[in-house]
């Protein structure tokens, strides 16, 4: 099998599996228990918090573990909104966010909060000027993703964050697709909170984190919760957290090398598709605004779902967008930036590779894509 859907989930690394098993044997106790075994687990938790805090540029008090990226988004937004709604009844997001983010803002609308949805420009990026113009004196919360999961296009979060610095609104950023692949810190993005996920970086599924900048106000939305200072109820899954942080540390130690390797793989793959010439559209941004591991494509005369099903017969796994939207027949929202008609938008498919992907696998995949497109 050739697995080219790393943007949906990555295979768990051998090292993460090893850490997970060892932590299950040694640190199985509840971190809230007061006995010796509980203290050992609590010390591991503090170590993991400290290590993650050092990666994202905050302190351990700003690290909260969740059940994954979606819950991280929801809990971060709910906690931030609860603490900052005193500044007003207006919030801002984009129309290309992850479903977990959009569902939160849709719920706010139902409860009477005014929501401004910023549309992506023709280049797939959210317009900084439009966001600035949308900010009002009663804006209390803004949420803009870092990397779009369908196209890999990097959004201008740092510019938006810089503008919001002197204003009362807090800025949240969904960094699930970017963390561990390109530099991500609260400081370089000028954000108050980020959400990240383990299974996007070769760690186990079922664990993620919210990282808050120092002094960021938040309120517990779960009364009587004592776990993680009230941020999230429930006993912590320390084996998964330990494996998650190990994966994060490992990827960050090879960040530049992996990035260079990813660009080489991308260029090799696109060159192999060159026989398609003018029928092929590559949905992307200039290099400095593009995550190399996600390749958005469309071929004239071929629907994305047909390409997915055809490649699957050759045991090649790709997708037609975010796995969270896979059951919908409609194209991803960001496709409106690149194509005018729904017929054109439905041609989109996504190839996303990882550190274990070989040039031979990409060459074989390109060969089959060309074969399917020409039949």
Euclidean distance between CA atoms 47 and 267, whole angstroms: 39
* Residue pointed to by tokens 């023709």: 122
Do 157 and 173 form a contact (C-beta atoms < 8 A)? yes
Do 293 and 150 form a contact (C-beta atoms < 8 A)? no
Q: Which two tokens stand for residue 218?
A: 């938040």
Catalytic residue among 173, 284, 317, 324: 324
CA distances from 54 to 170, 186, 300 (A): 22, 11, 46
Question: What is residue 2's three-state secondary structure?
Answer: strand
Active site residue 324: yes
Supply the DSSP symbol for 142.
E
Euclidean distance between CA atoms 59 and 72, whole angstroms: 18
* Residue pointed to by tokens 């010390």: 43
Do 144 and 157 form a contact (C-beta atoms < 8 A)? yes
Q: DSSP string spanning 62-117? A: GEEEESSHHHHHHHHHHHHHHHHGGG-SEEEEETTS-HHHHHHHHHHHHTT-EEEE
Do 28 and 167 form a contact (C-beta atoms < 8 A)? no
Report the Cα–Cα distance between both ends of the chain, in Å, rounded. 23
Alpha helices for the chain (secondary structure H): 14-26, 36-56, 69-84, 99-110, 128-134, 157-164, 186-189, 238-253, 255-272, 304-312, 342-345, 359-374
Which of 224-250 are b and which e, b meaning 16 or more Cβ less than 10 Å from the residue's Cβ? eeebbebbbeeebbbbbbbbbbbbbeb
What's the sign of the alpha-carbon dihedral 116, 117, 122, 127?
Answer: positive
Q: Which residues are catalytic?
A: 324
């Amino acid at each position: 099998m050739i697995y080219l859907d790393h943007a949906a989930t990555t295979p768990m690394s051998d090292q993460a599996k090893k850490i997970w098993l060892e932590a299950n044997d040694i640190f199985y106790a509840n971190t809230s228990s007061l006995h010796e075994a509980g203290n050992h687990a609590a010390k591991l938790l503090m170590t993991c918090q400290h290590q993650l805090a050092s990666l994202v540029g905050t302190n351990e008090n700003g690290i909260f573990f969740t059940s994954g990226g979606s819950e991280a988004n929801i809990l971060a937004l709910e906690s931030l909104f609860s603490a900052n709604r005193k500044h007003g009844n207006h919030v801002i997001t984009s129309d290309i966010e992850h479903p977990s983010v959009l569902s939160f803002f849709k719920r706010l609308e139902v409860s009477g909060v005014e929501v401004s949805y910023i549309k992506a420009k023709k280049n797939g990026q959210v317009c900084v000027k439009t966001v600035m113009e949308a900010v009002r004196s009663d804006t209390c919360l803004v949420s803009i993703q870092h990397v779009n999961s369908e196209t890999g296009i990097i959004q201008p979060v740092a510019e938006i964050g810089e503008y919001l610095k002197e204003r009362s609104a807090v800025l949240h950023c969904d960094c699930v697709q970017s963390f561990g692949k390109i530099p991500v810190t609260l400081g370089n993005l000028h954000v108050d909170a980020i959400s990240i996920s383990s299974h996007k970086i070769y760690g186990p599924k079922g664990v993620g984190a919210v990282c808050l900048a120092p002094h960021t106000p938040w309120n517990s939305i779960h009364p009587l919760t004592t776990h993680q200072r009230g941020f999230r109820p429930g006993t912590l899954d320390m084996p998964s957290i330990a494996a998650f942080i190990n994966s994060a540390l490992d990827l960050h130690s090879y960040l530049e090398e992996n990035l260079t390797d990813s660009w080489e793989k991308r260029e090799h793959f696109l060159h192999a598709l060159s026989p398609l010439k003018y029928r092929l559209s590559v949905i992307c941004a200039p290099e400095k605004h593009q995550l190399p591991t996600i390749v958005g494509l469309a071929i004239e005369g071929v629907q994305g779902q047909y390409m997915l099903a055809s490649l699957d017969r050759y045991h090649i796994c790709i997708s037609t967008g975010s796995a969270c939207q896979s059951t919908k027949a409609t194209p991803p929202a960001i496709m409106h930036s690149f194509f005018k008609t729904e017929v054109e938008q439905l041609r989109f498919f996504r190839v996303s590779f990882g550190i274990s992907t070989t040039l031979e696998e990409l060459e074989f995949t390109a060969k089959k894509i060309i074969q399917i497109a020409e039949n």
